[in-house]
Structure 1
Amino acid sequence: MKRTLSATALGIAATLALAACGGGSSNPLSSGSGSASSVPSGTAKAGTIHVGAANFPESELIAQIYAAALNAKGLKATTGDPIGAREVYLKALQQGSIDLVPEYAYSLLTFYNTSATQTATSEVLAALKMKLPSGEIVLNPAAAEDSNSVTVTKETADKWGLKTIADLAKHSSEVTFAAPPEFQKREQGLIGLKKKYNLVPKSFRGLQGTAIAQALKNGQAQAANIFTTDPSIKADGFVTLQDPKHVFGSDNVVPLISKSKASAQVQSVINAVQAKLTTANLAAMDKEVQVDHKDASTVAKQFVSDNGLG
């Protein structure tokens, strides 16, 4: 809520105890706030780019990649603790305590415009640019895409014959839904699922990070909001339901940056990173961080080195 947007740390905050749009699924669209739920104080130092992140592992990882690439080119960049939900880190960007943050295109668009109908990447980006605050811009979208999803176990899919979210909606009275708390109030969440599929679960479990996938695996929930790059989908054999009515749109990774720090050199470095980020290599790095428990900054630096970004 990925990014509900979500969507969101707690994968790490609650597991690293924080990740998209991930591990255990916060939401690129959202992202509950791991340990930090208030806007960071202070202003980023002049001449330094402070890269912020939502409180889920994938957002932290991408933030580390941006910082590593900037530092490799002689531009001073710093990172800090994950910040929290979209409402919180966007406020931090507006107030100047961070300068740059990884975002997810469709999730960010629907945050600013809950009635947005665009779903294709180019349309989403064009609409998003029209909605951004005047002091911010988005740079090039990556091919990497991490969307919110409605995911179930293979056992549940087989039992109820599930292929689409509409199929699941027929069993609403039997469904406990696990997701970050903010998923309840997102268009890319229960609001949109009710509008487009009449999916109204009997109960909701507000969880964070890996606890979401664990609830699904343990039968404490019959459906969950899990990022499409989350390693648990493959590892646990989960089934991501099709979304023909597009509650969840094109959530390509996009850098959101303050215009005051978006020099031509900074844009060139970050856009070069974007050109190398694919869904496949992002998912592979998510696994390294969330499953193999490698340090995110180490994985990020390796990505920068391997892709000639240094």
Structure 2
Amino acid sequence: MHSRVGIRILAGALAIGAAVTLSGCGATSADENNSGHGARITVGAHDTVENRILAQVYGQVLADHGYLVDYNEGVGDRAASIAALQSGRVDLVPETSGELLYAIDAAAFARSDDDIEEALPEAVESIKLRVLEAAPADKAVAFVVTEDFARNRQVASIGELAYFADDITIGADDGFQSERYGPGGLLSVYGVVGFDTRDLTDGGGTATLGALLTDSVQVAVIPAASPSILRNNLRVLADPKNLITAQNIVPLVNLTGDSPDVHQIVDPVSAVITTEELRVLNERATASATPSPETIAREWLVGKGLIRE
């Protein structure tokens, strides 16, 4: 299936070679808070606040277990971060499962979180990398409605929009028409047809929320991890047929970063990062005081009992 690996983004990255050895990364210890024994590990981040927060979450828990952690917050786009992992310039980068799978293998067909989780290890192994356990947090887009709309229309899932699609307007960015979850997908997967659309290009920001809360649109397509969902008590419509490709948070590591010790430290942290918790972290990032990603991650980790104060 992966003969076409790297066609989209990885041709240059594959030429860089295997990851350098991370001294001591595989060491284990009975002392669970010093298993790193001072080994150095570098955590990279893409250029978004959310990804920097996640990088700090993983980095700080590794530091709490005895690793010397460096951060590279300018690792660049996906192609650049994969090259950095392969060269050993970074050892771990928070990634997005569905996007990562399709970047490596454009012919992949997995859509659900379970199917992507099954397909992803083989795909990343083909480029000499590994993935750790995926977090439950899904940062794909979501179809959201107000609580009043959900209650009055008795709607809980995307497919139920079919019963009154002629009466609704869906607000989304200008790429919605061509997306798999756009009008064509809504019709073929759920039989939803006849609705109007309105272009809203602020990614679930003020304009989108204003349109939704004033009933200018009845359904909005926004990031599932948007803090707007928390602030406005919005309802996320269920997607049981996987119209939207799952995009779970997953740590991507180089070969030496794939040690039992790193698994033992990082996997339990990922297990706690749900979509709801990711919204909480993003909400903190938009607070008026604008705390740093480092502070947001530390407060969250301490609050969850994942690192010592």
Q: With structure 1 as the length reference, what TM-score do the two structures score?
A: 0.65
Q: Secondary structure at 1:226's aligned position in 2?
A: strand
Partner of 1:177: 171
Partner of 2:42: 49
Partner of 2:128: 135
Q: In 2, are the aligned partners of 1:110 and 1:188 still within 8 Å (CA)?
A: no
Matches for 1:158-169 after TM superposition, within 5 Å: 162-169=155-162
Q: In 2, are the aligned partners of 1:148 and 1:225 still within 8 Å (CA)?
A: yes
Partner of 1:299: 296
* Candidates 56, 61, 70, aligned match of 2:53: 61
Superposed CA RMSD:
3.9
Cα-to-partner distance string for 1:235-254 (whole Å, 9 max, x where unaligned): 31322223232213554421
Task: Supply the distance in 1 between the matched residues of 2:99 and 2:182 (Cα, whole angstroms).
Answer: 10
Q: In 2, are the aligned partners of 1:114 and 1:187 still within 8 Å (CA)?
A: no
Matches for 1:103-142 after TM superposition, within 5 Å: 103-106=95-98, 108-109=100-101, 112=105, 116-117=109-110, 119=112, 121=114, 123-132=115-124, 133-142=126-135
1:205 aligns with 2:193: no
CA shift for structure 1 position 150:
0.5
1:274 aligns with 2:259: no
Q: In 2, are the aligned partners of 1:150 and 1:223 still within 8 Å (CA)?
A: yes
1:240 aligns with 2:232: no
1:224 aligns with 2:220: yes
Cα-to-partner distance string for 1:250-286 (whole Å, 9 max, x where unaligned): 5442112233654555444433422443455444333
Task: Supply the distance in 1 between the matched residues of 2:197 and 2:185 (Cα, whole angstroms).
Answer: 16
Partner of 2:33: none
Task: Supply the distance in 2 between the matched residues of 1:289 and 1:263 (Cα, whole angstroms).
Answer: 31
Q: In 2, are the aligned partners of 1:231 and 1:291 still within 8 Å (CA)?
A: no
Change (3 A) 1:191 1:295: farther
Task: Supply the distance in 2 between the matched residues of 1:175 and 1:82 (Cα, whole angstroms).
Answer: 39
Q: Could you tell me which amino acid in structure 2 is paired with residue 254 of structure 1?
A: V
Partner of 1:76: 69
- How many residues align? The count is 260
Change (3 A) 1:165 1:146: same
Change (3 A) 1:207 1:308: closer
Q: Could you tell me which amino acid in structure 2 is paired with residue 140 of structure 1?
A: E
Give the fraction of aligned pairs with identical amino acids, expressed as a percent.
24
CA shift for structure 1 position 309:
3.5
Partner of 2:281: 285
Q: Who wins on radius of gyration, i.e. which is larger?
A: 2
Cα-to-partner distance string for 1:141-194 (whole Å, 9 max, x where unaligned): 234445531012245446655433233355268524224x55554435566434
Q: In 2, are the aligned partners of 1:153 and 1:217 still within 8 Å (CA)?
A: yes
Task: Supply the distance in 1 between the matched residues of 2:42 and 2:250 (Cα, whole angstroms).
Answer: 17
Q: With structure 2 as the length reference, what TM-score do the two structures score?
A: 0.65
Q: Secondary structure at 2:200's aligned position in 1?
A: strand
Gaps of 5+ in 2: 1-18, 23-39
Q: Could you tell me which amino acid in structure 1 is paired with residue 172 of structure 2?
A: A
Change (3 A) 1:289 1:168: same
Task: Supply the distance in 1 between the matched residues of 2:55 and 2:183 (Cα, whole angstroms).
Answer: 28
Task: Supply the distance in 1 between the matched residues of 2:287 and 2:132 (Cα, whole angstroms).
Answer: 30
Change (3 A) 1:81 1:202: same
Partner of 1:13: none
Q: In 2, are the aligned partners of 1:109 and 1:116 still within 8 Å (CA)?
A: no
Gaps of 5+ in 1: 1-43, 84-88
CA shift for structure 1 position 134:
1.4
Q: In 2, are the aligned partners of 1:61 and 1:296 still within 8 Å (CA)?
A: yes
Change (3 A) 1:236 1:51: same
Q: Could you tell me which amino acid in structure 1 is paired with residue 201 of structure 2?
A: G
